[in-house]
Chain A
Amino acid sequence: MFAFNLFKSRKEIERELEISLRKKAVRDLLHDMQGTAPEEAARLVEKLKVYLQNDTLIPFDFRQKAFKRARVLECEANMRIADRLLFEAAALMDPAECYNRGRKLAESRTYFGKACLLGVDDDWKRAYQRLVETIMLSGRLRPANEAR
Chain B
Amino acid sequence: MTATTELAWSTELSVGVDALDAQHRGLIHLINRFGREPIEMEEMAALLEKVIAYAARHFNDEEDWLLANAPHLLEHQIECHCRFITQAYEFADRFQCGEDVELRDRVHSFLCDWLQRHIREEDQRYCPARRAAGAL
Q: Which A residues lie at the B interface, using CB under 8 A?
A: 98-99, 101-103, 105-106, 109-110, 112-113, 116-117, 122, 125-126, 128-129, 132-133, 135-136, 140-143, 146
Residues B86-136 near A (CB distance < 8 A) = 86, 89-90
> Which B residues are in CB contact (< 8 Å) with A143?
70, 72
> Which A residues are in CB contact (< 8 Å) with B66?
102, 106
Main SS at interface, chain A: helix
> Which listed residue, B52, B53, B63, B86, touches A106 by the CB 8 Å rule?
B63
Q: Is the CB of A141 within 8 A of B85?
A: no
Q: Is the CB of A98 within 8 A of B71?
A: yes
> Which A residues are in CB contact (< 8 Å) with B75?
102, 105, 132, 135-136, 140-141
Q: Is the CB of B82 within 8 A of A136?
A: no
B41 CB-CB contact with A under 8 Å: no
B42 CB-CB contact with A under 8 Å: no
> Which listed residue, B72, B74, B89, touches A116 by the CB 8 Å rule?
B89
| Additional 19 contacts, C-beta under 8 A, given A102-B75, A105-B74, A117-B53 | A98-B72, A102-B66, A105-B78, A106-B60, A106-B63, A109-B78, A110-B63, A113-B59, A113-B85, A116-B86, A117-B52, A117-B56, A117-B89, A125-B86, A125-B89, A126-B86, A128-B82, A129-B79, A132-B79
Main SS at interface, chain B: helix
> Which B residues are in CB contact (< 8 Å) with A112?
82, 85
B18 CB-CB contact with A under 8 Å: no
The bracket for how many chain B residues form the interface is: 20 to 34
Q: How far is the CB of A142 from chain B (nearest CB, A)?
A: 6
> Which listed residue, A103, A113, A126, A142, touches B72 by the CB 8 Å rule?
A142
Q: Is the CB of B72 within 8 A of A109?
A: no
B46 CB-CB contact with A under 8 Å: no
> Which A residues are in CB contact (< 8 Å) with B78?
105-106, 109, 132, 136
> Which B residues are in CB contact (< 8 Å) with A125?
86, 89
5 shortest A-B CB distances, which residue pairs?
A102-B71, A106-B63, A102-B74, A141-B72, A136-B75
Q: Is the CB of A129 within 8 A of B67?
A: no
> Which B residues are in CB contact (< 8 Å) with A128?
82
> Which B residues are in CB contact (< 8 Å) with A102?
66-67, 71-72, 74-75
Residues B20-35 near A (CB distance < 8 A) = none
Most central of A98, A102, A135, A141 by chain B CB within 10 Å: A102
